[in-house]
Amino acid sequence: MAYAGNLSSPPVVDTMHGKVLGKYVSLEGFVQPVAIFLGVPFAKPPLGTLRFAPPQPTEPWSFVKNVTSYPPMCSQDAVVGKMISDLFTNRKESIPLTFSEDCLYLNIYTPADLTKSTRLPVMVWIHGGSLVMGGASTYDGLALSAHGNVVVVAIQYRLGIWGFFSTGDEHSRGNWGHLDQVAALRWVQDNIVNFGGDPSSVTIFGESAGGESVSVLQVAIAAGCATTTSAVMVNCLHQKTEDELLETTLKLNCPFLPTAIDGVLLPKAPEEILTEKNFSIVPYIVGINKQEFGWLLPLGRGCFFDPFQNVPEDAIPAAIKEYLGGAEDPVKNKDLFVDLIGDVLLAVPSVIVARHHRDAGAPIYMYEFQYHPSFSSDLKPGMVMGDHGDELFSVFGAPFTKGVASGEESRISKMVMKFWGNFAWNGLFWIYCSFYLLTEVDIPTTENISLPAGAGSLMPPADLCL
């Protein structure tokens, strides 16, 4: 039940655990303001015995909980976490960042009139950050919610050693962060109707590790501790403080801990599940950027080069010829090398996933984003076109929340939000006209998969579909 009253009083909404009080924020051009709820708990704080354990339902409360402040981000390297948040945020103002193991909260943005029985599609955002960094509050869902007329929910999940430490057995199966995501989705099912959302129409979307999390959920049915047995090691790690665990992760050359095949969330390797078509057949979008390895990912240095260790030696000359082709211009060689790395790390796996969904009969769409957002121009070289994560400024409407954007950039963002919102409404990744910007991927029945020429370029006449 919602207690919105009039717009001069803040919205109050009932959840299964207690009432929450939010705030209204208006966006220029929209009569109906967006009701915002920040830091809504969806699980108990994962502390003490709940460290390295599945999330548990949050405790109920009897008062009206004020949820108008940003929750702490999950424990991570504070310096890197702040850098990534500052880089990707679509907010104009700087927000205070804190970090804690107590971080299982979500943010809700709803344009619904809470005095009526509105049922809007729901879009649940899973942030990226290699499963070791990031947070929900980096992304302001205000513009996407208003432009798409959808309820946006941004969730948090345990990261790094807290979220993905696994011994490979019953002592610590791992995937705690993914189980947090499942718990957040269950909370949405149980509560979102009172925020004007339709629990039967939920779209999950994410970027980078968030996109990987979407795939995992979709196919899912160095601390100085002795490692003599899993039980001894896990017990030791339980005794460590949050700061001690963070210090441990900072010592690692690459702190990335991958999703584990735990026999619970993932009973088999994802490749096997996809091959067997043993997953939900639902409309699916796979997106890549023009230069995924253009600027941000190289900062990770050796974290992303494992796929290259398995390239057959006799295939290397063919790959060099295909990509570099004897080019002598050093700038051209650099661009071609960036293409090579980006294809191996992201483009090829994306196409493989798309092929499996196509073969299973799912409506599958692909796009390629080609644009250099002005909001990161003071950090990234202008020659980088479509770097890793660059699409987020358009998806979350940075021109409308952060300001100082060109007319072209505003039109592009407005169009992208319409595409995303339209997908949440009816599972179609286009607006009501023929347009080559983002089209249903032409995946023939043969083994060859290619994006249509020019697909995803975000610099055609952007007002065509507006």
**Would you say 55 and 44 are in contact if contact means Cβ atoms under 8 Å apart?**
yes
CA distances to 45, 166, 223 from 237, rounded to whole Å, are: 17, 12, 7
Which of 212, 292, 368, 409 is catalytic? The answer is 292
> How many angstroms separate the CA atoms of 301 and 293, rounded?
11
Type of residue at 45: P
Per DSSP bridges, beta strands 64-66 and 19-21 are parallel
Q: Which of 99, 63, 36, 366 is nearest to 211 (CA)?
A: 366
The question of whether 292 is a catalytic residue gets the answer yes
DSSP string, 422-451: HHHHHS-SS-SS--SSS------SSS---P
Which of 208, 213, 215, 457 is catalytic? The answer is 208
Q: How many CB atoms lie within 10 A of CB 187?
A: 24
Helix 209-219 with 176-191: angle, nearest 10 deg: 70
Which of 178, 356, 357, 388 is catalytic? The answer is 388
The question of whether 28 is a catalytic residue gets the answer no
> How many angstroms separate the CA atoms of 189 and 205, rounded?
16
Q: Which of 284, 379, 300 is nearest to 129 (CA)?
A: 300
Among all residues, which ones are annotated catalytic?
Answer: 208, 292, 388
